[in-house]
Amino acid sequence: MRATFARRYASLMDTVLVGRWVPPSSAAGATEAFRQWRTRTRNRPVVPQQGAHMVRACLQEAEVEAAMNIVFAQDDTAPLLRKLYTSLHAEGGEQPSLTTSEKIVEAMEPMASGLQGRPGQAEFISVLLYYASFVLQERSSSGTVPSATARSSAERAIDNAIRVAQASPSHAAVLLRPIALAAPPSYLGRVVALVDVAFRSKRTYIDVDGLRAILKLVAHRNEFHQSVIMWWRWMQHTQLSLEPMVLSLVIEVLCRAQKPTEASEVVQQLHALGSVPEPHAQLIYLQHLVLISRPPVAQAELLVNLWSQSHANTGDGHIAGLQWALLQFYYATKNSKLIRQVSAALLRDVSTTKEQHLQELLQKIVDDTSAARKRDAEGTAAPEDLVETYAVRVLLERFTPNRAEMICTAALLGSRAGCVELVGPWLESCSDEVFDEALSLVASRSSNLAVELCEVSHRVVPDSLNAWSKLLNDDPPGAL
């Protein structure tokens, strides 16, 4: 209680001494504000929040010397540097230019090695790594390539940061996130090893933000999956287990590591939180279920019911892949009732789907259902008229025949479902130019189907198409 009172009293006195604070907008303004502060308070250390504003104003103009004068005038530099690092990463903040970052890195990197054992060492390195991350980019947003000298300084800064983190558990907690955000892909192995060592050390405090940042980097790399699975055992007891993004990454890792039971448990955990995996994780999870010899149908029913009631997957670029994975899964279950259920959910979802995404989805059905059926040795996959007929009807109801690609998709779907006649009335408003283009696309797949399309739309069959159809004697349209 006394400690709390002391902190609040100190904060109140700082506010009284500062008065109305206007953050400086230039290095000169920051230097003058710092001079006035020291004069007014008789060399009292500057308030960390205000000091961070002063230092940042100096660094924006690459005035490293002026910035360090403010930093090292503090009795304890750590609080000011922590505030500075937080403000640098604040959303909406202005990012430094490559030239500014190069100057700062080249000036601060030699100082970092001289701070061994001093308070604020880890915080100083964190700020240095923030600017190093811009230098280590392959190319800046303006297209400029960083200089070799600055790049070498940035790499030495990361090497030093890793050594400091390995030597001190308390520093490791501070440096995990800055290292993860700054390190290029070639350093990922060392970063993961650093986290593994931190987990094995009972004295190390694992920073949740740092682990989250590292997890985003390594979740898609197969060589690090065992490490992520080890981390997950610890993460289940932290706030990370309540974050859908983190849980989605864990689902991906567990699927790639061939641990379907554990992945399903994480999906259930997300369900209990009232959330769903992110689209990419949904796709990987469902594709993984397709490959299992005996898919857990009850688990899939739960997922479909949950996802069909939510809008998490509508209007998103992943909808085509996600919904196709669902269809593949239901083909694998050989359950016509469930196929009808997911098809109905599909039609509800596409009512708000962008045209290009629906086109991708329908084209996938055209191109890939035959492959799904070939995997079924017993030949007992979905009846021909289930999914395709749904797709044809939604296409005809939703769109006008003004694009050759869409007409071709409708013809192919109708052929597979045995309902090409439904496409005929739809083509009444189609122009001759678009129809001829679509006819060429259909003929490249099946000349018989192209002839049938002309017949159902009451158009004259071109002589060349009739000749090709008789010459090739290709398969009937239903055999697509």
Task: State the chain's mean pLDDT as an integer.
Answer: 75
CA–CA distance, 380 with 40 (Å, rounded to integer): 86
Residue type, 123: E
Q: Whose structure tokens read 């994480």?
A: 266
Q: What's the pLDDT score for residue 311? A: 45
CB count, 10 Å around CB of 288? 22
Which residues fall within 8 angstroms of residue 257, CB to CB, at 6 or more apart? 225, 226, 229
Backbone φ/ψ region at 315: left (φ over 0), alpha (ψ -120 to 50), beta: left
pLDDT at 15 > cutoff 60: no
Strands (E), 327-387: none
For residue range 463-473, list pLDDT tens digits in order: 777 665 565 55
Q: What's the pLDDT score for residue 129? A: 92
Task: Identify the three-state secondary structure at position 439.
Answer: helix
Check if the beta carbon of residue 324 is closer than 8 Å to that of residue 362.
Answer: no
For residue range 71-93, list pLDDT tens digits in order: 988 888 889 999 999 888 876 56
For residue range 385-440, list pLDDT tens digits in order: 455 666 677 677 667 788 888 888 888 878 877 778 888 888 888 888 888 888 88
For residue range 159-207, list pLDDT tens digits in order: 999 988 888 777 887 888 888 888 888 888 888 888 877 776 655 567 7
Q: What's the pLDDT score for residue 324? A: 55
Check if the beta carbon of residue 412 is closer than 8 Å to that of residue 369.
Answer: no
Q: Whose structure tokens read 């001190």?
A: 168
In this prediction, residues 209-233 reach a mean pLDDT of 85
Q: How confident is the model at residue 156 (pLDDT cuts 50, 70, 90)?
A: very high
For residue range 43-64, list pLDDT tens digits in order: 778 888 888 889 999 998 989 9
Q: What's the pLDDT score for residue 125? A: 92
Q: What's the pLDDT score for residue 477? A: 42
pLDDT at 208 > cutoff 60: yes
Check if the beta carbon of residue 418 is closer than 8 Å to that of residue 385.
Answer: yes
CA–CA distance, 166 with 203 (Å, rounded to integer): 12
- 291 vs 243 pLDDT, higher one: 243
Q: How confident is the model at residue 320 (pLDDT cuts 50, 70, 90)?
A: very low
The closest of 375, 379, 445, 454 to 416, measured between CA atoms, is: 445
How much helix, strand and coil, in percent to the nearest 5, is found in the chain? 70, 0, 30
**310 φ/ψ angles, rounded to the nearest 5 degrees:** -100, 170
For residue range 108-155, list pLDDT tens digits in order: 998 887 787 778 888 999 999 999 988 987 655 566 788 889 889 999
pLDDT at 379 > cutoff 50: no
- Alpha-carbon 108 to chain mean position: 33
The closest of 198, 52, 184, 185 to 127, measured between CA atoms, is: 52
- 8 vs 436 pLDDT, higher one: 436
First to last CA, the chain: 78
The closest of 432, 437, 461 to 449, measured between CA atoms, is: 461
Q: What's the pLDDT score for residue 322? A: 53
- 234 vs 348 pLDDT, higher one: 234
